[in-house]
């Protein structure tokens, strides 16, 4: 059994924290894991992406082949669309719905969301608004992870909650609390 996840967003949005939490949960569950990311120039407001592969069996490639991602998990709607050729026929897209516009030629928002909604399995939410509503504006990425928990067949929500406690533990109880709250809001918001 395997789960291949394409994580995407814009530099600085916190996709690597999502990868760290999923990675921690996977390790604790005894799963195999490979996670490829690109550092360097790409972090400065450009598109960023990470391949996260979880499996009960050996994983060969660090990169996910075209058409094999079970999930595209994105902090930004256009960045979700960027990796569409990687999505498997039964794969899901879980994304923030609010565009992050830092380029002059950003596509028309209505057309973009229509294209997104036409895909077979899509969940999107204004995760920034949800996080602000919880008074935890820096935890938007955990709202997204909560939404994704419905599609991480290989890892249940409790495993992810425990990983949040482990990963953010050293930052103090308040940070853990905020992130758990955000996770639950994302998880329940799409039930």
Partner 1 sequence: MTGKRLLLGDEALALGALHAGLSGVYAYPGTPSTEITEFIQGDPLAKERGVRSRWCTNEKTAMEAALGMSYAGKRALVCMKHVGMNVCADAFVNAGITGVNGGIVVVAADDPSMHSSQNEQDSRFYGKFALVPILEPADQQECYDMMAHAFRLSEEVRLPVLVRIVTRLAHSRAAVAVGEAGPQNPLAPDGERGRWVLLPGNARRQYDALVAMQPDLRQRSLASPYNRFEDAGAPLGVIACGIAYNYVREALPDGISVLKVSQYPLPEDRVRELARACGRILVVEDGQPFAEEQVKGLLGPDYPVSGRLDGTLPRTGELNPDNVAKALGRPEGAVHAPAHNLAPRPPQLCQGCGHRDVYTALNQVLADYPEARVFGDIGCYTLGALPPYRAIDSCVDMGASITMAKGAADAGIHPAIAVIGDSTFTHSGMTSLLDAVNDNAAITVILSDNLTTAMTGGQDSAGTHKFEAICLALGVERAHLHVVIPLPKNMEEITRIIREEIEYKGVSVIIPQRECMQTLARKQRQKLANKA
Total H helices, total E strands in the chain: 7, 6
**Of 2, 14, 29, 34, which lies in the binding site for partner 1, with binding defined by CB under 8 A?**
34
Report long-range pairs for 42-46 (Cβ below 8 Å, ≥24 apart): 42/11, 43/11, 43/12, 44/11, 45/10, 45/11, 45/12, 45/102, 46/10, 46/11
Least distance CB 112 / partner 1 (angstroms):
4
**Of 46, 137, 156, 169, which lies in the binding site for partner 1, with binding defined by CB under 8 A?**
46
Q: Computed from CA positions of residues 71, 45, 39, 171, in that sequence, does the dihedral angle turn out positive or negative?
A: negative
Evaluate whether 63 touches 49 at the Cβ level (below 8 Å). no
Evaluate whether 176 touches 168 at the Cβ level (below 8 Å). yes
Q: Where are the alpha helices (DSSP H) in the chain?
A: 15-28, 77-82, 109-117, 127-133, 140-148, 157-168, 173-189
**Of 84, 122, 123, 190, which lies in the binding site for partner 1, with binding defined by CB under 8 A?**
84
Asked if residue 141 binds partner 1 (CB under 8 A), the reply is no
Asked if residue 81 binds partner 1 (CB under 8 A), the reply is yes
**Of 65, 133, 153, 169, which lies in the binding site for partner 1, with binding defined by CB under 8 A?**
65
**Of 59, 123, 129, 190, which lies in the binding site for partner 1, with binding defined by CB under 8 A?**
59
27: its two tokens: 């390790």
Secondary structure (3-state) at 3: strand
Asked if residue 56 binds partner 1 (CB under 8 A), the reply is no
Stretch that binds partner 1, among 105-113, 136-144, 156-164, 180-188 (CB under 8 A): 105-113
Asked if residue 27 binds partner 1 (CB under 8 A), the reply is yes
Least distance CB 68 / partner 1 (angstroms):
6
| Binding residues with partner 1: total (CB under 8 A) | 53
Asked if residue 106 binds partner 1 (CB under 8 A), the reply is yes
Which positions lie near partner 1, rule CB under 8 A?
Answer: 10-11, 23, 27, 32-47, 59-68, 78-79, 81-82, 84-89, 102-108, 111-112, 115, 119, 171-172
């Amino acid at each position: 059994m395997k789960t291949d996840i394409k994580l995407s967003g814009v530099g600085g949005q916190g996709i690597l924290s999502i990868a760290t939490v999923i990675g921690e949960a996977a390790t604790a569950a005894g799963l195999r894991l490979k996670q490829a990311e690109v550092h360097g120039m790409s972090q400065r407001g450009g598109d960023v992406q990470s391949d996260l592969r979880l499996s009960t069996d050996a994983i060969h490639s660090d990169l996910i082949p075209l058409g094999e991602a079970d999930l595209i998990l994105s902090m930004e709607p256009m960045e979700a669309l960027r990796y569409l050729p990687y999505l498997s026929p039964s794969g899901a897209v879980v994304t923030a719905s609010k565009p992050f516009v830092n380029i002059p030629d950003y596509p028309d928002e209505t057309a973009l969301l229509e294209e997104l909604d036409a895909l077979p399995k899509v969940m999107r939410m204004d995760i920034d608004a949800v996080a602000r509503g919880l008074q935890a504006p820096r935890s938007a990425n955990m709202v997204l992870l909560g939404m994704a928990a419905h599609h991480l067949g290989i890892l249940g929500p409790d495993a992810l909650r425990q990983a949040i406690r482990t990963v953010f533990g050293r930052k103090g109880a308040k940070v853990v609390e905020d992130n758990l709250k955000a996770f639950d809001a994302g998880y329940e918001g799409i039930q």
